[in-house]
Amino acid sequence: MSVIAAFPSPRDRQAVTAFDRLELQRILDLYGRMVAAGHWRDYAMSFGRDVASFAAFRRAAERPEIRIEKRPQLRVKQGAFALVSEHGAVLKRGHELASVLAPLERRLMRLVED
């Protein structure tokens, strides 16, 4: 006997949190400059129902050195964006991506000056 499965409708799909084009462009621009400085070598992106995450690695076999997370549920309270350290501590949280990425931008400036 054959089984007929119903075609899923758009309302049955679960929403996925993702970075928009400008956010992703800004993150990948920073990633490219950190790679050029020799600091990062690999990255991973994860898109879930509640959180979108960009992780940057010094080496592929390690834990990510830094994670940039977007949680839309927190946009009113603490801000949708967070910068999370290798050990899971939130280093910076904010409403705008540029302010959250500022500590990494400063680190890049120090890497270039050395």
Q: What is the pLDDT along the chain (114 residues), one digit of tens a residue?
A: 678 777 766 666 677 889 999 999 999 999 999 999 888 999 999 999 999 999 999 887 778 999 999 998 888 888 899 999 999 899 999 999 999 999 988 887 765 555
Number of Cβ within a 10 Å radius of residue 74? 17
Q: Where are the domains of the chain?
A: 15-108
pTM, two decimals, is: 0.81
Residue found by looking up tokens 């927190």 in the block: 74
| Nearest of 16, 11, 13 to residue 70 by alpha carbon | 16
Specify the DSSP class assigned to residue 3: -
